[in-house]
Amino acid sequence: MRSPLLAGCLAALAACALGPARARGQTTGTVVGVVRDGSSQAPLHGAQVLVDGRLAALTDTAGGYEVRGVRSGWHQLTARLIGFATQQHDSVLVRSGETTTLDLVLQPQAVQLGAVTVQAAPDAVLDPLATATVQHISADDLRHLPVSTLEEAVALSAGAVGDSYRGGRLGEQAFIVDGLGLKNQLDASTGTLGLNLPPDILTEASLVTNGFSARYGQALSGLINVVTKDGGDAWQGRAAYETDRGLGAALDHGLDRVVLEADGPLVGGAKLLAAVDASGRLDADPVNAPPPTDPRDPRTAQPWMLPHNAGQELDAAAKLTVPFATRQTLRLFALHSDGRQLLYDQAYKYDQSFAPAQRLTGDLVTGHLQLVAPPSLSTPLLADLRVGWFTRDFERGTLVSQPSYAFGAFANSPFDFVGEGIARARDTVAARGAVPGFAVPDYSVNTPWGVPAFFLGGASRGEIAWNHFDELRGQVDVDVGLSRQADLFVGGEAVRQRVQTFQRVLAYLPVGDSVPPATASDFTPTSAAAYAEGQFRSQDLALTVGVRYDRFDPHASLAGGQITARSSLNPRLAVSAVLHGATFVASWGRFSQAPDFQYMVDAAFEDTTRTGRFRLGNPNLGFEQSTQYEFSVRARPAADMSLRVNAYVKQLTGLVASVPFGVNPDSSIFGNIDYGSVKGVEVLWERELKDWWGVRVSYTLQYATATASNAFQLRQPQIVGADTIYPGQVEFPMDYDRRHGVTIVAQARSPDAFGPRVLGVRPFAALEGAAIVRYSSGLPYSLTNAAGDSLLGAPNGERLPSQFTVDALLRRPLRLAGAQGSVYLDVRNLLGRRNVVAVRRDTGTPGLGAAGIQAAALAAYAANPQPIPYESPRYRAWADTNHDGVIAGQAELLPLYLAAAQDYYQPLFSYGPPRLVRLGVELIF
């Protein structure tokens, strides 16, 4: 920043706390530079610049070149001109949405130099064009860090709390897969996307928490941008197998994971990429809960693994890249995910075949045609035409038959649900009667305690839940290089969606006074968007201005067609400059997302702990919105170090929350009535991996408050002690208001000739290690009375304990039969720390407490005081203290009820994962 005028402008903009930026969430980046004569240093005009062997640009009269639309990843870049030696750079790293600067010098001799291995990476730290807050995860990170999935990798980012970003609710993020927007618009706030990208197909992923390009919508808090790789020039691949077999019972959670990936050329320049990632675990959700205190509890012998908690996941992806003409490329991508899980229900601990199960499948098929204007065109032009078809099916209920396992947790039997036909047909008439296949559950007779209390058996809870979501999306993006100092991005999208839902509870009973009717819906929302964004640069100053128009129309027959479309205009602005070796970015932007469609349809619930038995959908919901301000400073204290500080304020408006409906105290309806704000500071310091080691430290300080903590939180006056708190006047911590979070990611690699030789091998040579240390303060929760219907303090007025984990990965590269490979040891929660992740709202502790258990036992005894004769399956000889063949009276029965209560109220899922260890071997061919 050399101009006082520019400095003044920047200061003024910063004072206004401005926000977002350049086209983030793209799949491509830009390479720019100048080609000079090696002898005279004069710029060379007309030199050819080739990317991966294809002509990409011609230098202008100033020797400058700019190649847009270069796919994220490593590329070969070549410059050539008659009379000069061709220069080739084999390792040019291009990151999506970023600019890599590479100046080239050609020597005036007709002798071609060999390939020069030069790493040219974009420097997003000082790049004034990088105005968004982006945290990258490269394919290399995914392999070398103790993470297994994209979600785990993204969760390492500053400001991430699980799937919540910068204090936002769940579902305030959108996925961008190869430039195409993707979101589970049905129930993003309570469900997952349904698609899992095998990490092996990724070039990179990044989390963008602010400064979204105007190109993208459907999100308030974050964009997860994923770029898949194209098939390579030669056939290559990776095969890996991971397991925790043979590690001892306490570490054996039944994990098996197989990964296969291969890619290479086909005929005609086409390239294929295919990958399969299958994993299964007999205990898919292992927890570090304490062992039971009663030795008769079967968990005593092996408290580390829960039954009926198995899960298997199959993800398969394929991508075909077809170049045609000279600068056009067609990419076809398909992804299928199938996740099946048996769900552990403590009530069915002893009758597991009646416990619920769920299946989530997703399919994505996309096509991407990229058109690049020839280098001779005076105005660089890049057009991307994308179309995508996304389907997601969710089902939860009772399995017709339990799966039979073929290998580990992999089953070779179908996952069929009772009542599935009625659900898929959304037959609410047939569902008025008791649904065939269901029976009335009773208290289990298979417990060690025998008494009719707490535990269920004989039949399931009678739940059928099914929903289907699909969307067809078309998207056009055009990048126009107006000049070397100005770019224009314009485009739009159109989406047609379909929502089908069905839900029935207590299906073993006909619909009646105490049994809500089945709910079903079928409607086809549409949405559309258009955007324009300009980016202007002047030396070390950049200005990005954009505006996005969003529109959605639920087309809901739910309200008799009375509901009309609604729209939202979202301007975004960012300015950045380099001052004294640091880059300052100020950004401002408005963002909006359509609400989950689940809020538009009616729902039936068996439990009354949320908002009641009958929850009315509201088709008249509008956009949820946020306005974000951010000020960032980025600097390089040393050549291999970077420091970033981001300060942000996010104002939330129109978030969905529940309000009482009618006179029924158990009924509620959704509305765009919640508002709040998130304020935070993020500090990220990184020492790049160099000379054996590298480390990245991020710290987040954050305050997230709103008038209702989540969409299901009933917004009504709260009586706290002697005070009445009226909603809309007071803000409370949001569910993901994590005040402090520290994440340290460290990596190290020993030299190839490191350490002593043992039997001809250097065991410590080329050894790779990585560790992730996480500390975070506790999330908020609300404390209630014992009945759970009255708050004892302010909503979310209490805090969980802090959490601390250490994960580690140790990898030893090997060569096997001429191929490279490695063996690795991946350890999560290395210290085995017992982190409390949830507590009971009535006690503020994981467990119910001795007094609560005593009360529960007494209540259960009072409900069923009848004697238990010997012939009854409930008879337990050890409780028949007088050996008269009947367990009778409080003296004999109450100990059984107490033991049952202690068993039932074990706080199994209040704790985070235990120490998890997996051994892996991989072969790279």
Which string of DSSP letters, residue by residue, matches 794-807?
STT-EEPPPEEEEE
Verify binding: residue 307, another protein, rule CB under 8 A: yes
Residues in region 393-432 near another protein by CB under 8 A:
408
Answer for which of 18, 120, 150, 305 binds another protein (CB under 8 A) is 305
For residue 650, list its beta bridge partners.
Answer: 628, 678
Report the nearest approach of another protein to the CB of residue 401 (Å): 17
Report the nearest approach of another protein to the CB of residue 368 (Å): 38
Tokens 């790789």, residue located: 229
Select 275 or 868, whichever has its Cβ closest to another protein.
868
Which string of DSSP letters, residue by residue, matches 279-318?
EEESBSS---PPPPS-TTSGGGT-TT--SSB-EEEEEEEE
Select 638 or 817, whichever has its Cβ closest to another protein.
817
The torsion region of residue 465 among left (phi > 0), alpha (psi -120 to 50) and beta comes to: beta
Report the nearest approach of another protein to the CB of residue 859 (Å): 17
DSSP H or E segment with residue 397? strand 381-397
Select 410 or 712, whichever has its Cβ closest to another protein.
410
Verify binding: residue 309, another protein, rule CB under 8 A: yes
Answer for which of 2, 326, 870, 881 binds another protein (CB under 8 A) is 870
Verify binding: residue 823, another protein, rule CB under 8 A: yes
Answer for which of 436, 717, 801, 873 binds another protein (CB under 8 A) is 873
Verify binding: residue 91, another protein, rule CB under 8 A: no
Which string of DSSP letters, residue by residue, matches 355-392?
S-EEEEEEEEEEEEEEEE--TTSSS-EEEEEEEEEEEE
Verify binding: residue 692, another protein, rule CB under 8 A: no
Residues in region 258-287 near another protein by CB under 8 A:
282-283
Burial class (CB in 10 A: 0-12, 13-18, 19+), 316: middle
Stretch in the footprint of another protein (CB under 8 A) among 95-103, 150-158, 204-212, 303-311: 303-311
Verify binding: residue 526, another protein, rule CB under 8 A: no
Report the nearest approach of another protein to the CB of residue 254 (Å): 4
Verify binding: residue 347, another protein, rule CB under 8 A: no
> How many of the chain's residues bind another protein (CB under 8 A)?
57
Verify binding: residue 311, another protein, rule CB under 8 A: no
Select 308 or 738, whichever has its Cβ closest to another protein.
308
- The phi and psi torsions of 851 (rounded to 5 degrees) equal -65, -40
Select 37 or 256, whichever has its Cβ closest to another protein.
256
Answer for which of 33, 168, 217, 254 binds another protein (CB under 8 A) is 254
Q: In angstroms, rounded to a whole number, what is the distance separating the alpha carbons of residues 398 and 405? A: 18
Q: In angstroms, rounded to a whole number, what is the distance separating the alpha carbons of residues 5 and 364? A: 50
Report the nearest approach of another protein to the CB of residue 714 (Å): 31
Stretch in the footprint of another protein (CB under 8 A) among 8-16, 378-386, 718-726, 759-767: 759-767
How do strand 173-177 and strand 104-106 relate by DSSP bridges? unpaired
Residue type, 795: P
Verify binding: residue 560, another protein, rule CB under 8 A: no
Stretch in the footprint of another protein (CB under 8 A) among 48-56, 182-190, 679-687, 866-874: 866-874
Verify binding: residue 756, another protein, rule CB under 8 A: no
Residue type, 721: G
Answer for which of 243, 526, 777, 784 binds another protein (CB under 8 A) is 243
Tokens 């416990």, residue located: 355
Residues in region 188-227 near another protein by CB under 8 A:
none
For residue 34, list its beta bridge partners.
Answer: 64
For residue 651, list its beta bridge partners.
Answer: 627, 677
Answer for which of 448, 755, 832, 844 binds another protein (CB under 8 A) is 448
Verify binding: residue 760, another protein, rule CB under 8 A: yes
Report the nearest approach of another protein to the CB of residue 190 (Å): 27
Q: In this structure, what token pair is assigned to residue 148?
A: 């297994």
- The phi and psi torsions of 13 (rounded to 5 degrees) equal -65, -40
Verify binding: residue 98, another protein, rule CB under 8 A: no
**Per-residue string for binding with another protein, 361-400, x by CB under 8 A?**
----------------------------------------
Residue among 825, 828, 693 at smallest CA distance from 750: 693
Verify binding: residue 442, another protein, rule CB under 8 A: yes
Answer for which of 761, 831, 850, 862 binds another protein (CB under 8 A) is 761
Which string of DSSP letters, residue by residue, matches 217-281?
-S-SSEEEEEEEPPP-SS-EEEEEEEE-TTS-GGG---EEEEEEEEEEE-GGG-EEEEEEEEEEE
- The phi and psi torsions of 162 (rounded to 5 degrees) equal 60, -120
Verify binding: residue 645, another protein, rule CB under 8 A: no
Q: In this structure, what token pair is assigned to residue 349?
A: 């601990």
Select 496 or 762, whichever has its Cβ closest to another protein.
762
Q: Strand, helix or coil at 910?
A: helix
Beta-carbon contacts of residue 571 (< 8 Å; ≥ 6 apart): 545, 546, 547, 548, 589, 590
Verify binding: residue 876, another protein, rule CB under 8 A: yes
Beta-carbon contacts of residue 277 (< 8 Å; ≥ 6 apart): 196, 198, 199, 200, 257, 258, 259, 313, 314, 315, 316
Residues in contact with another protein by the rule CB under 8 A: 241, 243, 245-246, 249, 252, 254, 256, 282-283, 296, 298-299, 301-302, 305-309, 349-352, 408, 440, 442, 446-448, 450, 508-509, 759-761, 814-817, 821, 823, 866-867, 869-873, 875-876, 884-886, 919-921
